[in-house]
Structure 1
Amino acid sequence: MKHLILLMAMSGVLAAKAQSLERKTIAPAGADLVAPNCQISFTLGEIATTTVSNGNLLLTQGFQQPLAVGLNNPLPVTLTYFTGAIREGQTFLEWKTAQEFNTDHYQVERAADGIHFTTLTIVKSKGNSTTPTWYDAIDAAPFAPVTYYRLKIFDKDLSFKYSPIVIIKKELTGGVSVFPNPVVGKISIAVNSTQKISDTWSIINMSGQQVAVKPVALQQGLNTINWDLHALPPATYFIRSAGNTFPALKIIKQ
């Protein structure tokens, strides 16, 4: 009986349109469902599925499989890592992506305080990819003693997101030494500076109290700073740089 009904319906369709046939669905129920990342079209008939064809027309009665399932919003860029290192006074930055979709460009930003970022350079995306892709950038004059870097990643619609922040420390001196140590009166501090720096040095006692302060102006190259410590009582002290020009120096005053 069911096949007879289907064949009658098929004959009617063929009589109405014998030359060009379009896909038609005959079912008691159906729907098109659309979600943010997926679209499914389906029809519901009877529990059993029956398909009849005469070679030109295919008629299916019952449950049909989805006609279309598609992703409208593939995953955007996946950042594997973002890193950097100081070489010969310059910061070399590198980042790697695992996949990219609709990425337009990478805006490399930097800041001296980790808050107020400015643009260092812009690197164009290499295009859609599902394989690892590498990028790099150079900061020829990083801040001292530390520079904060981040990526501002733009899609083609100009929406964006930020990468984690990378912190790169720059050594300001090629070496520092103190003589004589122990000291009785005057002390000399030799600093080999990589650049011209204005700094403030302090002498701190073992209780953490500041007992002397000295502004200094370092030139690029070797500098020798003399400091008269006659007024300090005998004890152990530390010389510290406000600009982190060098690690704390331990001295003994006799």
Structure 2
Amino acid sequence: MKKFLQSLLVAFSIVLLATTFSNAQVLEWRLANPTFSSTDPDGAGPATGVATFTLQIHTLSGTINNITGMSTGWSWQLANAMLPTVPAPAPTCGTNSVAQPSNVTMSSTFAALGFSYNNVNQCSGSIDFTVGGRTFDRRAVGTVDGGTINLSTGWVDVFTVTLWSTTTNSNAGSVMINSGAGGDNSPFSTYSVSDAEANEYVVHSRTFGTPLLLVAGAPLPVLFTRFSALCSESGTSISWSTATEQNNSHFEVQKSTDGSTWSNIGRVAVSSLNSNSAKAYQFTDKLGGVAQYRIKQVDLGGQTSYTDVVRISCTDKAFFVNIYPVPAKDKLTLVVGSDKTTKMTLRVLDNSGRVLIN
């Protein structure tokens, strides 16, 4: 029996395969904290109000040390906003780049480390593109440099931008930001982040598919409070929560394996059309794998918004085998397990390699 058991163990040697998803560290940036004031900033001039927003950045995991340069900016709408004309030196839409324009204020964190926003052109190139149902025709480009900073998973403010509105309905339109070179969400080759050794990092944008509204008291159709993905026995478990929902139609769970092409893998009904209380939702991707996920929210008017993107590796588990008791006398129990239904072949060999059971 002992020889038989040894043969059986040899025949059922299992190699557990582990897949490691390893990429260079990745960053994300977003435009956040919008404000709007209807106070007229220029008297008889064309402006009707003042809007601000802040550029923020963080890593998806871990810490990236010694970041020294960041080529970045934003896109905006000339039909709804203008560059402030005071204080001097006033930013302009000319072809010349300027250093530290007066409508861009470095955050206290970046300023304390010696950073400033240089070589800035707030109307760079000729652009005309539509995203999230809104058309953008101006793009700002500049370089944040002059210091060194370590970035981690906590969001940190980079700078705050001031624009003047030119509309009569208390808004300055929308702003958005492309991803950096190599990122998802329409990467812009000029945007990048680099460290002291000239290593460049991929930067994804979280304010692309859903531009940031610069509107007085603009209600969000859905306020997301949590979004996560975890590996489970059934696949990848995706869950999210909301604090409020207004005119919400449904959610779509989207998946990508390359960060640029997204597919809908599920639709989740809302708990109620309008809600001012916390709601929780869950969806399981039974295929799992190495993938990126996001939630697309759709309101009754067809407008959409997105969560941030989460990345996770939930690869298939290998077989496992339990044999007991060891040693055995006249009875041996063999347990073979798998995370999904699998076709298997059982062979029992003796020490000479002769097949006893097939």
TM-score, length-scaled by structure 2: 0.29
Larger Rg: 1
Which has the higher relative contact order, 1 or 2, with Cα contacts under 8 A spaced 6 or more apart? Answer: 2
TM-score, length-scaled by structure 1: 0.40
